[in-house]
């Protein structure tokens, strides 16, 4: 109890910091006076009496210090003192403080943002119970796609999963009775919610027992967010009937708040049973075992206790082997790993990209640390005199180190906080960002405590790291020598730690500048490269006749009417139609296996090629701007009653028939055995992504195989707004209830360009940061060396040195270090850019423009950074300077 | 800090308390004199060490202090025992006597006394 009381008093005293030393001084005075009086009475002389009294009392200063130590808490006292002194020192040199804070804010901010995104996409599991044992199987074509019958076999024949659920997307027109609008959701297997072990927020979920054959479960479960936005959180919504693509479904429940489906990017508005898929898609996509890419998007489930992912893969492979043996025409067996649900097939790419980004952000941090290290080292050198004086006056080295570290941590906390605040704003913007206006895609980032902790730890660790740099100097300092030598420290000729740090930093920055230039250049090239069609001045009109309630046999006549209607718009040159998706739209592309004409056994292992397949109308090629190299394109006669014909691209012609000229007139077989004759060859292009290298493609006549989901390609030189209005008008004349989306092809390319654009923007930003860091680094070094050598430069000037010699003496070292660092960085950057080639199309560093760009950029940076120091060196007046010292 | 104290801090604190108990209100010099008189050379040097001890005792609440006039009519700080200090003194005296008795018996004990 006593010690507690004592502690509290001391704490209060420390905080209040009252100058109570007066009391002690007075007491000591009185004590000595009384003792002196006593000694006088004993017969000593006044001087001797006083001296004896003081001897008897002992060390006054020591007593004072003990007294002070007793009165307050010394540790806190010192800390407060250090912080005050640190703040004062930082205020005294605003330039230094600003450079350090900016440098750190950039580095910590960049790392916090990248970490925030990484945390959201990779580190944080899905918001479902027991997420750690939840796995998705990428069985099938390595992306998670399955056909529904295959999924059923996998579900029933595996021994590894507790149960296996599956889902596909459902994009529907949702009609609540007032305003019909588009909604996106999942069509899931009945056991979906049971497999995920979630409980409804309201009402109930559907279960496996609800599945009683096709279209037997017209139920829909709303997501919590959709329930709020579309139904205003009305609790009476359960039991209501809504129409999905004109078919009545009953709302049976609402999912819990955090549950947005099992994909991170795409949040579902609703969930419906997959057995009712035919109603919303207009055709049955579940029954065909060979319909791999049109069936299930992903199958997922919890592993049984004790089953490792490796066991599960082996187990699924054995099921796959059975399927490949039983259904050789529809199924070819490949082993496939398990994946964490959430990102599915994007997982690898996202992981690689974010890891790369994290690495680059780490480089930024490293460069910043090197920068700060050299800044602090320079500062410590400047302060060596002050430190020496303090040492000479009896301050302990520990106290001085403590003070230097306090200062470093202080400034790193300020810089870290600024960086963190910036990153919170950025991450907030990111989470609101919808990259594609028409797709329900968003980044689920929300900075949490983990991000803050990471940022602050980074800041403090880097603070301590560069705070350590001057420590060696302090420990080595011999106060006598330093004070004697004065402030004009020797300029060493050998490479110092500071120089090495600067070279490292510049090299890192040059790497960043190189990679960002490579990325920008790659993006520009992919924008202007040949895509195999001309996206400019082409409108894409998407319609889905199923949503409007058309029957399958009405599809073809309606589409013909649509094409004809578009052609009557003034200023429209050509109109074409393509089923499902046009090339490079939403990254969708469907491949089909083809066989040589002479192949009799059409099992998958015998396939000759797997080109992209497009079903297009007669006018498509001229509307899309695809050049025909040989033969003809489709005509209105290439319909179901005529023999099957195909147009193939140059790559497929080369692969199947050896040459373009030799391909026309030849035949090959489709998966279903149909023999098709090649009637024309068109130029190569890009179909699914920009990084593809001349993939094979074939075009079949859409008149033979109509699909209710199609895109019109309308080529016109007319103004975009006018044209959009005219297209809408024509469609309304045809059918007022037909939903359609109208975009330019260029706009839709954004989606495909998205990865390289994100890569370019992030690399560009990091490159900018690198540039800023190298400016601050070189500036710090040059300014320091000029200020250190003012006297020497003055003497040189007085002895008749010209401007050139002066600049050489003042900045030669900085420029040499810059050149060395840039060269090393350029070399490393060229090596690193190989990695970039995976994301950015045609990212080649062996590009004279890039190389020259880096050299020019680094020279400009050097010029910029040394400008002020150079001016200062040139404005030296030897007369003033000499008198000064 | 401790090595500069010639006597163990606890001992000095106990002496201060006992002095104030016997003499009543007293200033620092008076306490020092008294301890010096009784203990001989123990506090002959380093009288200054007394003041941190006084402060410690005051912060613990065992003693209290006020300004007053000294014999030669100067301002001096006078210390007195509080109720809590008196209790502390009693407790520590008991402890001390107890300890001293045990140690004393140890020193008096001879080999033949043991069974």
Q: Has residue B99 been placed in a domain?
A: yes
Residue B3 domain-assigned (yes or no): no
Buried b / exposed e along A23-51 (16+ C-beta atoms within 10 A): bbeebbebbbbbbbbbbeeeebeeeebbe
- CA A247 vs CA A217, A278, B66: distances in Å: 12, 10, 94
> In A, which residues are within 8 Å of B47 by CB distance?
31, 35, 56-58
**A7: closest CA of chain B, how far (Å):** 9
Of A5, A58, A71, the CB nearest to B48: A58
> pLDDT tier at A621 (50, 70, 90 boundaries)?
very high
B1 occurs within a structural domain: no
Q: Give tens-digit pLDDT for A226-263.
A: 898 888 888 889 999 998 888 899 999 999 987 878 88
- Tokens (6 digits) for A119: 């945390």
Q: Give CA torsion, residues A751, A753, A755, A757, to 10 deg.
A: -120
Residue A453: pLDDT above 50?
A: yes
Q: Which of A28, A30, A52 to mutate to test the interface with B (most CBs of B within 10 A)?
A: A30
- Is the pLDDT at A307 greater than 60? The verdict is yes
| CB pair distance less than 8 Å for B52 and A67 | yes
**Considering all CA atoms of chain A, what is the largest pairwise distance in Å, rounded to the nearest integer?**
141
Say if the Cβ atoms of B74 and A30 lie within 8 Å: yes
Domain count, chain B: 1
* B79, part of any domain: yes
What pLDDT, in 10s, does the model give residues A398-446? 777 788 888 888 888 888 899 889 888 888 887 777 666 556 666 667 7
CATH code: domain of residue B23: 1.10.10.10
**Residue among A228, A239, A303, A310 nearest A269 (CA):** A228
Q: Which of B4, B55, B56 sits opposite A62 (nearest CB)?
A: B4
Burial group, residue A534, by CB count within 10 angstroms (0-12, 13-18, 19+): middle
Q: Are B72 and B64 in contact (CB under 8 A)?
A: no
pLDDT, chain A, mean: 81
Cα dihedral sign, A351-A356-A361-A363: positive
CA angle A744, A746, A751 (to 5 degrees): 105
SS (H, E, C) A848-864: HHHHHHHHHHHHHHHHH
CB contact under 8 A, A31 and B52: no
CA distances from A40 to A21, A45, B34 (A): 29, 7, 19
Closest chain A residue to the Cα of B57, Cα to Cα: A6
Give the confidence band of A222 by pLDDT, cuts at 50, 70, 90: very high
Whether residue A620 has pLDDT greater than 90:
yes
Secondary-structure percent of chain A, ordered helix, strand, coil, rounded to 5: 55, 15, 30
User: Helix crossing, A384-392 with A449-476: angle to 10°?
Assistant: 70
Q: How far, in Å, CA of A388 to CA of A489, rounded?
A: 13
Closest Cα in chain A, distance from residue B59 (Å): 5
pLDDT band at residue B7, thresholds of 50, 70 and 90?
Answer: low
Looking at beta carbons, which residues of chain A come within 8 Å of B72? 33-34, 37
Inter-residue long-range contacts of B81-86, CB under 8 Å, 24+ positions, other chains counted: B81/B17, B81/B20, B81/B21, B85/B17, B85/B20, B85/B57, B85/B61, B86/B21
For A828, other C-beta atoms within 10 Å of its C-beta total 17
Report yes or no on B21 lying in a domain: yes
Give the separation between CA A473 and CA A380, rounded to whole angstroms: 8
Q: Is residue B87 part of a domain?
A: yes
Residue B59 at interface with chain A, using a CB cutoff of 8 Å? yes
Q: Is the separation of the CB atoms in A104 and A412 below 8 Å? A: yes
Tokens of A791: 């006297």
Structural domain for B95, as ranges: 9-113
Mean pLDDT of B68-95: 86
Within chain B, what is the greatest distance between any pair of CA atoms?
Answer: 65
Estimate to the nearest angstrom the gap between the alpha carbon of A753 and the chain centroid. 15
Cα separation, A513 vs A506, in Å, equals 10
Q: Do B52 and A69 touch (CB under 8 A)?
A: yes
Residue of A nearest to B43 (CA): A56
Dist. CA A775–CA A750, nearest whole Å: 34
- pLDDT by residue (tens digit) across A315-325? 888 888 888 88
Closest-CA distance of chain B to residue A51, Å: 13
Between A123-127, A483-487, A792-796, B61-65, the lowest mean confidence (pLDDT) is in A483-487
Contact: B48, A60; criterion CB under 8 Å = yes
Chain A / chain B CB contacts < 8 angstroms: 83
Could you read off the pLDDT of A17-57 as tens digits, one per residue?
555 667 788 888 888 888 888 888 888 888 988 888 888 88
**Which residues of chain A lie closer than 8 angstroms to B46, CB-CB?**
57-58
Question: Is the pLDDT at A221 greater than 90, yes or no?
Answer: yes
Q: Does pLDDT of B2 surpass 50?
A: no
Taking the C-alpha atoms of residue A143 and residue A139, their distance in angstroms, rounded to an integer, is: 7
Instruction: Give the tens place of pLDDT for each residue, A504-554.
Output: 888 888 888 887 787 777 777 776 778 888 888 899 998 888 777 788 888
pLDDT at A851: 79
On whether any CB of chain A is under 8 Å from the CB of B9, the answer is no
Binned at pLDDT 50, 70 and 90, residue A479 comes out as low
3-class SS at A621? helix
**Within a domain: B22:** yes
Between CA A306 and CA A443 the distance in angstroms is 34
What does the pLDDT average to over A658-667? Answer: 88
Answer yes or no: is B4 within a domain.
no
Cα(A807)–Cα(A786) distance, rounded to whole angstroms? 9
């Amino acid at each position: 109890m006593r010690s507690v009381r004592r502690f509290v008093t001391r704490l209060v005293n420390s905080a209040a910091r009252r100058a109570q030393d007066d009391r002690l001084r007075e007491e000591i005075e009185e004590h000595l006076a009384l003792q002196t009086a006593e000694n006088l009475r004993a017969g000593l002389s006044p001087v001797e009496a006083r001296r004896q009294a003081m001897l008897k009392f002992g060390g006054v200063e020591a007593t004072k210090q003990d007294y002070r130590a007793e009165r307050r808490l010394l540790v806190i006292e010192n800390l407060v003192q250090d912080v005050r002194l640190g703040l004062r020192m930082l205020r005294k040199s605003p330039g230094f403080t600003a450079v350090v804070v900016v440098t750190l804010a950039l580095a910590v901010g960049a790392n916090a943002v990248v970490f925030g995104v990484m945390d959201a996409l990779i580190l944080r599991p899905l918001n479902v119970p027991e997420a750690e044992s939840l796995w998705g199987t990428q069985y099938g074509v390595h992306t998670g796609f399955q056909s529904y019958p295959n999924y059923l076999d996998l579900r029933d024949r595996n021994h590894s999963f507790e149960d296996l659920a599956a889902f596909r997307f459902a994009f529907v027109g949702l009609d609540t009775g007032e305003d019909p609008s588009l909604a996106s959701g999942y069509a899931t297997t009945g056991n979906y919610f049971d497999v995920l072990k979630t409980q409804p927020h309201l009402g109930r979920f559907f279960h496996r027992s609800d599945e009683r054959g096709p279209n037997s479960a017209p139920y829909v479960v709303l997501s919590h967010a959709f329930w709020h936005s579309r139904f205003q959180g009305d609790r009476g919504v359960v039991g209501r009937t809504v129409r999905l693509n004109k078919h009545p479904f009953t709302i049976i429940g609402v999912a819990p708040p955090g549950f947005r489906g099992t994909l991170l990017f795409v949040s579902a508005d609703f969930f419906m049973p997959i057995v009712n898929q035919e109603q919303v898609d207009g055709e049955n996509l579940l029954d065909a075992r060979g319909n791999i890419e049109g069936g299930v998007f992903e199958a997922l489930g919890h592993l049984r206790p004790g089953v490792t992912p490796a066991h599960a893969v082996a187990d699924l492979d054995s099921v796959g082997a059975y399927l490949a043996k039983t259904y050789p025409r529809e199924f070819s067996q490949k082993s496939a790993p398990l994946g964490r649900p959430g990102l599915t097939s994007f997982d690898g790419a996202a992981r690689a990209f974010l890891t790369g980004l994290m690495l680059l952000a780490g480089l930024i941090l490293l460069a910043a640390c090197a920068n700060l290290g050299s800044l602090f080292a320079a500062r410590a050198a400047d302060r060596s005199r002050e430190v020496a004086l303090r040492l000479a006056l009896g301050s302990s080295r520990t106290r001085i180190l403590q003070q230097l570290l306090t200062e470093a941590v202080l400034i790193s906390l300020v810089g870290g906080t600024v960086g963190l605040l910036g990153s919170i704003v950025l991450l907030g913007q990111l989470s609101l960002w919808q990259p594609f206006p028409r797709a329900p895609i968003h980044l689920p980032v929300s900075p949490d405590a983990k991000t803050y902790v990471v940022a602050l730890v980074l800041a403090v660790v880097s603070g301590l790291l560069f705070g350590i740099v001057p420590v060696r100097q302090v420990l080595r300092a011999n106060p006598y020598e330093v004070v004697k030598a004065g402030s004009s420290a020797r300029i060493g000729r050998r490479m110092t730690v500071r120089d090495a740090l600067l070279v490292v930093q510049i090299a890192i920055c040059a790497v960043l500048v190189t990679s960002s230039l490579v990325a920008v250049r790659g993006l520009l090239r992919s924008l202007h490269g040949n895509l195999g069609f001309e996206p400019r001045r082409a409108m894409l009109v998407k319609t889905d006749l199923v949503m409007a309630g058309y029957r399958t046999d009405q599809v073809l006549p309606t589409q013909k009417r649509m094409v004809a209607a578009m052609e009557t718009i003034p200023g429209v040159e050509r109109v074409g139609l393509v089923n499902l998706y046009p090339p490079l739209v939403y990254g969708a592309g469907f491949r089909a296996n083809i066989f040589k004409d002479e192949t009799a056994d059409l099992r998958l292992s015998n396939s000759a090629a797997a080109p992209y397949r497009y079903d297009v109308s007669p006018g498509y090629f001229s509307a899309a701007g695809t050049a025909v190299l040989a033969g003809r394109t489709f005509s209105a006669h290439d319909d179901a009653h005529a023999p099957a014909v195909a147009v193939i691209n140059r790559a497929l012609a080369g692969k199947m028939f050896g040459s373009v000229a030799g391909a026309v007139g030849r035949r090959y077989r489709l998966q279903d055995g149909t023999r098709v004759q090649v009637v024309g060859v068109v130029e190569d292009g890009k179909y699914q992504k920009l990084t593809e290298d001349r993939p094979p493609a074939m075009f079949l006549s859409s008149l033979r195989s109509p699909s209710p989901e199609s895109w019109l390609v309308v080529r016109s030189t007319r103004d975009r707004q006018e044209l959009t209005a005219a297209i809408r008008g024509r469609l309304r004349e045809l059918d007022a209830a037909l939903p359609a989306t109208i975009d330019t092809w260029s706009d839709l390319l954004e989606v495909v360009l998205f990865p390289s654009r994100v890569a370019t923007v992030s690399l560009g930003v990091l490159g900018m940061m690198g540039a800023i860091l190298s400016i601050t680094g070189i500036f710090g070094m040059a300014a320091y060396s000029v200020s250190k050598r003012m006297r020497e430069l003055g003497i040189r000037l007085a002895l008749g040195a010209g401007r050139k010699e002066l600049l050489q003496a003042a900045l030669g070292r900085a420029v040499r270090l810059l050149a060395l660092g840039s060269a090393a960085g350029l070399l490393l950057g060229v090596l690193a850019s190989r990695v970039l080639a995976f994301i950015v199309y045609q990212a080649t560093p062996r590009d004279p423009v890039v190389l020259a760009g880096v050299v020019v950029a680094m020279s400009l940076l050097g010029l910029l950074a040394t400008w002020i120091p150079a001016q200062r060196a040139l404005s030296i007046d030897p007369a003033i300077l000499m008198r000064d010292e | 800090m401790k090595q500069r104290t010639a006597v163990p801090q606890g001992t000095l604190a106990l002496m201060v308390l006992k002095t104030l108990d016997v003499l009543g209100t007293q200033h620092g010099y008076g306490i020092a004199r008294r301890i010096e008189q009784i203990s001989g050379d123990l506090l002959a040097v380093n009288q200054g060490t007394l003041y941190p001890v006084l402060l410690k005792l005051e912060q613990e609440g065992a003693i209290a202090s006020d300004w007053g006039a000294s014999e030669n009519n100067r301002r001096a700080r006078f210390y007195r025992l509080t109720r809590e200090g008196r209790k502390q003194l009693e407790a520590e005296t008991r402890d001390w006597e107890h300890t001293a008795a045990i140690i004393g018996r140890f020193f008096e004990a001879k080999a033949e006394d043991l069974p």
